[in-house]
Amino acid sequence: MKNFYYIYWHQAGKHQADYVRLCDELIPSMGAADTVAGEMLRSATRLAYDLYNNGMGNNTSGAVNYLLRKGVIDKDTHRTIYEYTRGQKYDGHYEGDALQVAIEKTIDATVELILAHPTLATTANTEDQFEFEDAEQHWCDDCGVEMDGHGYINSVCQHCEDAYYEEEEYEY
């Protein structure tokens, strides 16, 4: 896919001018947005920000769950993004893989929905994306398997830890 990555971050999104304008008008400097459209934009932008600035290292499940609940994205798009929203680090190369495509298309879909339904920009928002957040997961830094909530950031699973100490024993 030609130059698909970083589209909105490089100011070249399909709806860039509308995206920037709507974000400026509808997303507050902090906290939940006053309107449904603002919260949708806030959610889509949070996903993109976390991908490009934190490698999806934060729990952004509330954002993707909110967008699914509001009908901005379908279940397939949700599934593609969701797997990275609870602490699993993105290990891609930022070259247009499925996760990046899904997040860029989510921004497109958010802007398109707001433009098609302008009343969303004046409809009072009563929800915060954080209300839809799922528990964060913990992943082994070495092999990438889920650690069932028993790990911490920068930790390894028992299997990798055992393998490390076995390797250390053989070096003597």
Average pLDDT over residues 36-48: 97
pLDDT digits (tens, 9 = 90+) for 82-128: 989 987 778 877 778 899 999 999 999 999 999 999 999 999 999 99
Same domain, 86 and 122: yes
Same domain, 79 and 157: no
Structure confidence at residue 167 as a pLDDT band (50, 70, 90): low
Domain range for 117: 16-134
Q: Report the domain count for the chain.
A: 2
Report the amino acid identity of residue 171: E
Measured CA to CA, the distance from residue 5 to residue 142 in angstroms comes to 27
Average pLDDT over residues 8-24: 91
User: What does the mean pLDDT of the chain come to?
Assistant: 85
Same domain, 142 and 79: no
Q: Which of 32, 60, 62, 30 is nearest to 48 (CA)?
A: 60
Q: Are 121 and 35 in contact (CB under 8 A)?
A: yes
Same domain, 119 and 142: no
Question: pTM for this one?
Answer: 0.78
